[in-house]
Amino acid sequence: MDSSSRCSVIIIGAGVSGISAAKVLAENGVDDLLILEASDRIGGRIRKEDFAGLSVELGAGWIVGVGGKESNPVWELACKSGLRTCFSDYSNARFNIYDQNGKIFPSGLAAASYSKAVDSALQELRNQEAKLCGHFTASEPPSSPKTPIDLAIDFILHDFEMAEVEPISTYKDFGEREFLVADERGYEFLLYKMAESFLFTSEGKIVDSRLKLNKVVRDLQHSRNGVTVKTEDGCVYEANYVILSVSIGVLQSDLISFCPPLPKWKMEAIMTLDVIVYTKIFLKFPSKFWACGPGTEFFIYAHERRGYYTFWQHMENAYPGSNILVVTLTNGESKRVEAQSDEKTMEEAMGVLRDMFGPDVPNATQILVPRWWSNRFQRGSYSNYPILGAKQTFADIKAPVGPIFFTGEHTSEEYSGYVHGGYLTGIDTSKALLEEMRGEGERKEESKKFLLEPLLTGLTESLTLTQKETVSRLRKWDNSRPLVVQEPIK
Ligand SMILES: Cc1cc2nc3c(=O)[nH]c(=O)nc-3n(C[C@H](O)[C@H](O)[C@H](O)COP(=O)(O)OP(=O)(O)OC[C@H]3O[C@@H](n4cnc5c(N)ncnc54)[C@H](O)[C@@H]3O)c2cc1C
């Protein structure tokens, strides 16, 4: 499809939500669709890269939520595609906490610190609930962590294990097990499998002109007649509808302008959401110097600076003999490291490893530092809703504005932040759009009828139809805010 020709739906972004949305449309007979993707590949935040002869996942690495009462749809796709995965057992991580002199903290101390952190998180939750209910009486402030071990555990609890404080839907619905994707085709192979069911492929590559890569959307002009989409390279595309699947970080940035601008309630909701930056740094070594065997995969470094190279993983379970370590940073530390050279990051990481394992640790031979925050097509790793009182924000973020439908992990009420969240929202958004398109079709039929009816039945009756038509259009296109009744807090 060329620039200038008009299609039914343009999908902006070819991450998991964009691809699952397009698949549902194609399966329902909407073949004249177009996918515009800013980068040179599909996958978005699912992205593999070759590192030291292996395929490592820079973005999503785990299928989270397996083994529960319902089956995680992404796990099903992985099983069907024969994706190689590896169970991750985090349960010992909190007992592998190293101090700055390389000693492992006694398990009793770690357990006490952990329960203090859980108590404090629960207290914070109670305070938030009280505030939401309008009880402004002074409540007990949660104690803040101060020692290196308390800081490390607080980091793990809040940045990795929120489920311990407030059970999250992913674990409740799909189970608490997590599997690391360790397959040279990458996690993104699941997206290719989905895409090949409705796009033309040849020799493992998508060759369908309905997928356009390197198309950076910069401008969306929308009205009740449809949407005009302009890309950075000067192309113009037109469609009846758009599904916008870019991340919340991109929506918060000025990459895409809207004409007319998005309504105030929409922008306020978009700007309310937190964006988490999550960075996995990969380090290759000439030999192993860390503990291997059961219960050692994850280990923690306790430092007086919260989140300073805290969470480590060795890749021996996933790739035996690979001699690769991964350290995860988040938010402020991620942004700091993104802004400095990889040599500096390597130096800092080596300092931490020598604190834990002694001065003889050999230098890493390679380092890989993803930059999700600086990437203008991502601007972060995933969305973070507040635990309480987010219903209206969620409804506003998800709500369509005229012919623009919003999708992506950030529009998932239950599974935001996850691959399965993105996958399921793509499906839901397309279903909602198909319903809208059917309604629009019926309205058109009705209006055709209305043009004929005066001839048959006279003027009075047709005037009633005109009013009905106007009201129904107003309801669809008035950009009004979806109102949500807040559920009482249990
Ligand atoms: C480091 C990291 C670790 C993660 N770990 C996990 C994990 O272990 N398990 C898990 O389930 N989830 C994890 N996630 C989250 C998961 O990757 C995302 O929730 C999911 O992939 C989001 O899919 P999406 O389709 O909503 O968005 P995206 O994948 O971001 O897709 C949006 C697409 O839009 C494109 N785009 C942006 N701007 C434009 C534009 N102007 N014009 C055209 N195209 C544009 C982007 O290039 C992108 O391809 C992780 C994410 C990161 C970054």
**From the alpha carbon of 250, which atom of ligand 1 is closest?**
38
Ligand 1 probe mutation, 10, 34, 45, most atoms within 8 A of CB: 45
Q: What's the DSSP call for residue 184?
A: T
Beta-carbon count within 10 A of 190 CB: 25
Q: Concatenated DSSP letters for 243-290?
A: EE---HHHHHSSSSEEESPPPHHHHHHHHHSEEE-EEEEEEE-SS--S
Task: Consult the annotation and say whether 188 binds a ligand.
Answer: no
Residue 401: DSSP 8-state: B
Flag whether pLDDT at 478 surpasses 70: no
Q: Is 1's pLDDT higher than 80? A: no
Per-residue model confidence (pLDDT) at position 4: 59
217 among annotated binding-site residues? yes
Q: What angle do CA 248, 274, 92 make, to 5 degrees?
A: 110
Per-residue pLDDT at 107: 83
Evaluate if residue 264 carries a pLDDT over 90: yes
**6-45+188-275+383-437 — its CATH code?**
3.50.50.60
Distance CA 376, CA 165 (A): 33
Integer Cα distance of 212 and 195 in angstroms: 13
> For the residues 223-243, what does the mean pLDDT come to?
97
Ligand 1 atom closest to Cα of residue 15: 31
Q: Is 25 within 8 Å of 9 (Cβ atoms)?
A: yes
65 pocket-lining for ligand 1 (C-beta < 6 Å): no
Higher pLDDT, 114 or 173: 173
> Does residue 142 contact residue 124 with C-beta atoms inside 8 Å?
yes
Instruction: Return the best residue to mutate from 188, 419, 423 for the ligand 1 pocket (most ligand atoms within 8 A of CB).
Output: 419
> Which residue, 117, 171, 120, 130, is CA-closest to 388?
130
> What residues contact residue 376 under an 8 Å CB cut-off, 6+ apart?
250, 253, 255
pLDDT category at 66 given cuts 50, 70, 90 is very high
Mean pLDDT in residue range 342-355: 98
Q: 96 pLDDT exceeds 80?
A: yes
Q: At what angle do helices 264-272 and 391-398 cross, to 10 degrees?
A: 120
Instruction: Provide the token pair at 104.
Output: 């492992």
- The count of residues in the chain is 490
Residues pairing with 367 in the sheet: 283
Lookup result for tokens 């209006």 = 447
The residues pairing with 238 across neighbouring beta strands, listed in sequence order, are: 6, 228
Give me the amino acid identity at 103: K
**Could you tell me which residues come within 8 angstroms of residue 172 by beta carbon, excluding any fewer than 6 positions away?**
68
pLDDT, position 475: 33
Fold of the CATH domain 48-184+276-368: Polyamine Oxidase; Chain A, domain 2 (3.90.660)
Handedness of CA 342, 55, 197, 5 (dihedral sign): positive
Whether ligand 1 lies within 6 angstroms of the CB of 159 is answered as no
Single-letter amino acid code for the residue at 154: D
User: Is ligand 1 within 6 A of the CB of residue 419?
Assistant: yes
* DSSP-based three-state secondary structure for 367: strand
Q: What is the mean pLDDT of the chain?
A: 88
Residue with tokens 């309008």, as numbered in its chain: 134
Q: Cα-flanking dihedrals φ and ψ of residue 252, to 5°?
A: -75, -20
Annotated binding-site residue? 196: no
Higher pLDDT, 441 or 214: 214
Cα separation, 358 vs 394, in Å, equals 48
Question: 282 CA to middle of ligand 1, Å?
Answer: 20
Mean pLDDT of 128-136: 67
Mean pLDDT of 113-136: 72
Judge whether 116 and 150 are in contact, CB under 8 Å.
Answer: yes
How far is the CA of 439 from the CAs of 31, 436, 453, 475, in angstroms? Answer: 19, 5, 20, 12
Q: For residue 403, what are the CA distances in angstroms to 11, 127, 235, 267, 490?
A: 12, 40, 20, 17, 37
Q: Measure 409 CA to ligand 1 centroid, in angstroms.
A: 8
Q: What is the pTM of this model?
A: 0.90
Closest ligand 1 atom number to CA of residue 370: 1
Q: Would you list the domain boundaries of the chain? A: 6-45+188-275+383-437, 48-184+276-368
